[in-house]
Amino acid sequence: MNWKCAIAVLLLGSLLTACKEQKSSAEKFAEDGILLIGNNSEPQSQDPHKATAVADGKIICTLLEGLVRPSPTEDGAVLPGTAERWEHNDTADEWTFHLNPSAKWSDGRPVTANDFAYAYQRLLHPKFAGKYAEMLYPLRNAENFSKGLCNWEEVGVKAVAPHTLRLSLSGPTPHLLRLLLHYTWFPIPAHKVEELGGMLDRRSLWTRPEHWVGNGAYVLAAHRFNDYLSVSPNPQYLRASELKNKGIRFLPIVNGYTETRMYLGGKLHITNNVPPEMLAYAQAERPSDFCRDPYYCTIFYRLNTSRAPLNDSRVRRALHLAIDREALVNKVVRGAGAPSVTFTPPGAGYAVNAPTEPTTQAEREEEARRLLAEAGYAEGKKFPVLELMTTSRDVQRVMAETIQAMWEKVLGIHVDIRSCEWTAYKSAQQNMEYDISSSSWSGDYLDPATFVELWRSGGGNNCTGWGNPEADAALSAARNTGHAEQRQRHLQQAEELMLHELPILPLYHSQRTYLRSSRHIDGWQPRLLDNFPLDAVLVKP
């Protein structure tokens, strides 16, 4: 009988304590100054050389600090991070960074130029197989080294003094500082990694909380799989006194509906995403907390230009013109985006001219029918049934059905929809086993090149079979100029050529919709890359 009593007492006791404490988690954690933030999915790794997801990046940016850090006041601007100053030559392909001598790892050891060189060598090492090694390809000979074609000594990274790092790049890179904000450019504690298995050990445990050593504003405190990951202030951090909160707890909530419910139930301070179906509800429930920010991401359809009839640019343009983007964004995505006929989202001072097109939707549809007839498919007759591939996400499926109906109505053609689970979809897309594939692309860094470079002939992420020597030349010219304005013009030229031939159908530039507690959170600003420095977020009780 004893155990029954024990359970009864335990249940009753916890019920009573719970009833006594009426405060929500959001209130309790706010009193302790700890930020509760929804972080989309369980992180892949806290190792900057194994992580690839946005959710990982958010955590790593609190744990490690690169040469520069993002400004909390201006999007895209950089402030000195571990480097206190830097200079570059006239052509911007040789950069020297002077590290702050007082920068320390969380175990008290100094951060040296060697820690950076060690990190870059590790990510690029052919035996390590860094998934994101391409981010370091601007370094001279980096690509060759990662393919095992040259020695590390030939790569453009030199620790010339304990606190001086020299980076030699394969071409002029005036936008290097923005690249450096990405976690692939962060240092790792060479001494700790060596202690726990060495540079090439992919199974190394150095990123576990019990072993963690970092130079960021926080250190890894605890991690429970699929539950939470928490970070606490790093007392050795360079600007430890400037920290605005006492820690962060990241919750890996994949499901946007659950996340929104948790926010409304007082379990979070900031959410990651409000799904389209809940936008109106969330906005009505919490008008002052609801946020809709531009995001450096484009939603578009890839067309497989190696297959007929999509190898005909008139057919592609007809499909393009027949889509009513206003209706799509307003009715399906419910305002979580801005309709667009260009690819690169606005930002970083870049804008591209779309090819001249009819303005009203009726005129566009008329033009679409004319082009399709010109290509030999008047009123959609004899047009083969194409397959439109999407992921199994609800929004994507509904979007595909909408566009399917638009094409049927305007052009009289029928497409079949194939909805695949994520890995099968990705596999088919990367192997070009599709006709039309719903796609999205988000920028790694705040610069148009992260979008336009996609369309280089034979590029790994092109996946459309399209290529244009003129556009390739423009992209190469952009890589080889140190002049920022000229570089922009080359990129614009490349994108305009791509938009003229349309291997893709741009649909809209997405916007992030999320909830943020106006009562508990201060100092937050929207960021195109969703990379606002979390150490600058003030948590109020």
Partner 1 sequence: MIKLLLKRLAQGALVVFVLETITFFLVRMLPGNPFLGERKLPQHVMEQLNALYGLDQSALVQYFNYWKNILTEGDFGPSLVREGLQVSDIIAEAFPVSLWLGVLGMGIAIVVGIPAGMIAARCKNRWPDVLLMFFAMLGICVPAFVIAPVFGKTLGMHVPGLSVAGWDNPLCAVLPSLTLGLINAAYLARLTRGGMLEVLSQDFMRTAKAKGAGTIRQLFIHALRSGLLPAVSYLGPAFAALITGSFVVETCFQVPGMGLHFVNATTDRDYFLIQGLVLCYGILIVGANLIVDLALVALNPRLRTQGAA
Give 132 or 290: the residue with its C-beta nearer to partner 1.
132
CB of 6 to partner 1, least distance (A): 14
Phi, psi of 250 (to 5 degrees): -95, 125
Closest contact distance (angstroms) between CB of 481 and partner 1 is 26
Q: Where do we find the tokens 């999320």?
A: 514
Taking the C-alpha atoms of residue 496 and residue 509, their distance in angstroms, rounded to an integer, is 17
Q: Return the number of the residue (264 or 351) whose C-beta is nearest partner 1.
A: 264
Residue 422 C-beta: closest distance to partner 1, Å: 5
Cβ atoms within 10 Å of 134's Cβ, excluding its own: 17
Question: Is the Cβ–Cβ distance between 511 and 293 less than 8 Å?
Answer: yes
Whether the CB-CB separation of 263 and 273 falls below 8 Å is answered with no
Residue 407 or 441: the one with the smaller Cβ distance to partner 1 is 441
Instruction: Identify the helix (H) or strand (E) that includes residue 471.
Output: helix 469-480
- Alpha carbon distance 482, 349 (integer Å): 17
Residues 534 and 67: their CA atoms lie apart, in Å, by: 18
DSSP per residue, 162-217: TTEEEEEBSS--TTHHHHTTSGGGS---HHHHHHTT-TT-TT--TTSTTT----SS
User: How far apart are the C-alpha atoms of 70 and 531, rounded to whole Å?
Assistant: 8
Nearer to partner 1, 57 or 533 (CB): 57
Q: How is residue 72 written in tokens? A: 């909390």
Q: How far is the CB of 411 from partner 1 (least distance, A)?
A: 31
How far is CA 247 from each of CA 413, 511, 524, rounded to the nearest angstrom? 56, 28, 15
Integer Rg of the chain from CA: 25
The least distance separating partner 1 from the CB of residue 180, rounded to whole angstroms, comes to 19
Smallest distance, partner 1 to C-beta of residue 255, A:
5
- In the complex, what is the shortest distance from the CB of residue 267 to partner 1, in angstroms, rounded to a whole number? 5
Nearer to partner 1, 129 or 484 (CB): 129
Q: Of the two residues 224 and 308, which places its CB atom closer to partner 1 in the complex?
A: 224
Nearer to partner 1, 15 or 405 (CB): 15
Nearer to partner 1, 136 or 406 (CB): 136
Nearer to partner 1, 186 or 377 (CB): 186
Q: How far is the CB of 228 from partner 1 (least distance, A)?
A: 8
3-state secondary structure of 280: helix
Q: Smallest distance from the beta carbon of 263 to partner 1, in angstroms?
A: 9
Enumerate binding residues for partner 1 (CB under 8 A).
14-15, 18-19, 21-22, 25, 42-45, 47, 50, 52-53, 126-134, 146-148, 202-205, 207-208, 224-228, 251, 253-255, 257-258, 261-262, 264-267, 421-424, 426-428, 430, 460-461, 463
Q: CB of 203 within 8 A of CB of 211? A: no
When the beta carbons of 130 and 309 are compared against partner 1, the nearer one is: 130
* Backbone torsion region of residue 348, taken as left when φ is above 0, otherwise alpha when ψ lies between -120 and 50, otherwise beta: left
Tracing tokens 């919490």 back to the chain, one arrives at 286
Burial string for 407-443 (b: 16+ CB within 10 Å, else e) reads: beebbebebebbbbeeeebeebbeebebbbbbbebbb
- Whichever of 407 and 451 has its CB closer to partner 1, that residue is 451
- Give the three-class secondary structure for 86: strand
Taking the C-alpha atoms of residue 525 and residue 50, their distance in angstroms, rounded to an integer, is 28
What is the C-alpha to C-alpha distance for residues 77 and 71, in angstroms, rounded to an integer? 5
| DSSP line for 238-262 | TTGGG--SS-EEEE----HHHHHHH
Instruction: Please check whether residue 291 is in contact with residue 516, taking contact to mean a CB–CB distance below 8 angstroms.
Output: yes
Q: From the CB of residue 3, how many other CB atoms can be counted at a distance below 10 Å? A: 7
The distance of closest approach from Cβ of residue 517 to partner 1 in the complex, given in angstroms and rounded to an integer, is 15
Least separation, in Å, of the C-beta of 36 and partner 1? 10
Q: Closest approach of Cβ 285 to partner 1, in Å?
A: 11
Cα atoms in the Cβ-side hemisphere of radius 13 Å centred on 513: 23
Distance CA 265, CA 517 (A): 12
Q: Between residues 38 and 76, which has the closer beta carbon with respect to partner 1?
A: 38
Task: Return the number of the residue (207 or 298) whose C-beta is nearest partner 1.
Answer: 207
Least CB distance to partner 1 at residue 204 (A):
7
Q: Of the two residues 102 and 430, which places its CB atom closer to partner 1 in the complex?
A: 430
Please, what is the minimum distance in Å from the beta carbon of residue 352 to partner 1?
A: 23
